[in-house]
Amino acid sequence: MTVTTPAGFRAAGVPAGLKSTGAKDVALVVNDGPRFDSASVFTSNRCKANPILWSQEVVKDGVVRAVVLNSGGANCYTGAEGFQTTHAVAERVADRLGIGAIDVVVCSTGLIGLANPRQNLLDGVDAAYDALSATGGEEAAQAIMTTDSVHKQVVVEGAGWSIGGMAKGAGMLAPQLATMLVVLTTDAVVEAADLDRALRAATRVSFDRLDSDGCMSTNDTVTVMASGASGITPTLDDFTDGLTQACTDLAMQLLKDAEGADHEIAITVVNAASEDDAVEVGRSVARSNLFKAAVFGKDPNWGRVLASMGTTQAAFDPADLDVAMNGVWVCRASTPAEDPAGVDLTPREVSVTIDLKSGDERATVWTNDLTHAYVHENSAYSS
């Protein structure tokens, strides 16, 4: 059930002393081919960490042969020295594998503004290389955890091919990715250009619609590598469907593990004039601290839903909006309708449905509630 489930991949996760706990903190995922197609998406934050600056160059030719990841330090806002550390790590991986450093994606996560100890990282790469195994995916997934309470993996089976994936992330999940590292593998034969199309389609409706706290990280990376080891070439539609399923599964695992959350909230906007409108409206509600605090308090406060929507430019009539919470239409035509007392917000899963009555498009955005524990974790944890 890991990145090593598809044929052609080896992985490892080892402790390198970056985490003070002594837990695993360096992961390596290697594509042994025969093909080395790849695609990646990165955070859209303009203040990018050094590993992003490096990896953006690596992925340009559509060839990636290995991804090396570390937790215990984000290598962000660490200047030229930090960039050299990233470069040195890629070089070390390349040396051991006998490949070029320009085919090695580097990902880092953890505290920002602190230099990563270079020697620990290089020693960690050596140890990870020595530990590489066709069953090492699970250990790699463990090595990238930070505040995650569980490691996150997925496998999607196609007809003679498969997709494996691992992810790291808890809280700080925002649009266009955020403090999230994802590595996906497949043994299908997929050309780099098609991988790129499939990955963008998959992330657009999964990770990009996760908005845990509106904050956007500096280190987020999603990379997919295709080994072609199955010898099977799925249709692009089939592959995109599988990749979307894998990304959505991982996104839901990230959502459920958001720091300090009590509820997972799915905001579905229907009958929008455009999908963009639906996403904009869903996002505005997902970012309302007042609405999120109300859900924590088990208060089906649809007024805060409408107040958030009013800040958007989406097409709708402010006087003719319907809102349901957990299936109870508490608001019709922007006025009170069914009794909110009928909305049970005890279960973790909450659904909000918003009818814009302006078209045929729809989208779902996911978020969490705003809790005491969120404030506690994010005031106590320096990152």
Residues 104-123 that bind a copy of itself (CB under 8 A): 111-114
**Left if phi > 0, otherwise alpha if psi is -120 to 50, otherwise beta: which for 172?**
left
Report in angstroms how near the CB of residue 16 gets to a copy of itself at its nearest.
Answer: 22
- Type of residue found at 104: V
Q: Which stretch binds a copy of itself (CB under 8 A): 9-17, 45-53, 65-73, 235-243?
A: 45-53
# residues contacting a copy of itself (CB under 8 A): 59
Closer to a copy of itself by Cβ: residue 249 or 322 = 322
Choice from 20, 21, 149, 335 touching a copy of itself (CB under 8 A) = 335
Should residue 9 be labelled a site residue for a copy of itself when binding is judged by CB under 8 A?
no
Closer to a copy of itself by Cβ: residue 16 or 314 = 314
Q: Cite the annotated binding site for substrate by residue number.
A: 146, 168, 179, 259, 378, 383
Active site residue 185: no
Marked catalytic residue, from 5, 85, 147, 179: 179
Should residue 315 be labelled a site residue for a copy of itself when binding is judged by CB under 8 A?
no
Choice from 70, 85, 206, 301 touching a copy of itself (CB under 8 A) = 301
Report in angstroms how near the CB of residue 181 gets to a copy of itself at its nearest.
Answer: 16
Choice from 102, 205, 236, 306 touching a copy of itself (CB under 8 A) = 306
Should residue 307 be labelled a site residue for a copy of itself when binding is judged by CB under 8 A?
yes
Closer to a copy of itself by Cβ: residue 230 or 367 = 367
Report in angstroms how near the CB of residue 211 gets to a copy of itself at its nearest.
Answer: 11
Report in angstroms how near the CB of residue 44 gets to a copy of itself at its nearest.
Answer: 8
Footprint on this chain of a copy of itself (rule: CB under 8 A): 44-48, 76-79, 111-114, 172, 213-218, 287-290, 293-294, 296-297, 299, 301-304, 306-312, 318-319, 321, 331, 333-336, 370-372, 374-376, 378-380, 382-383
| Residues acting as catalytic residues | 179
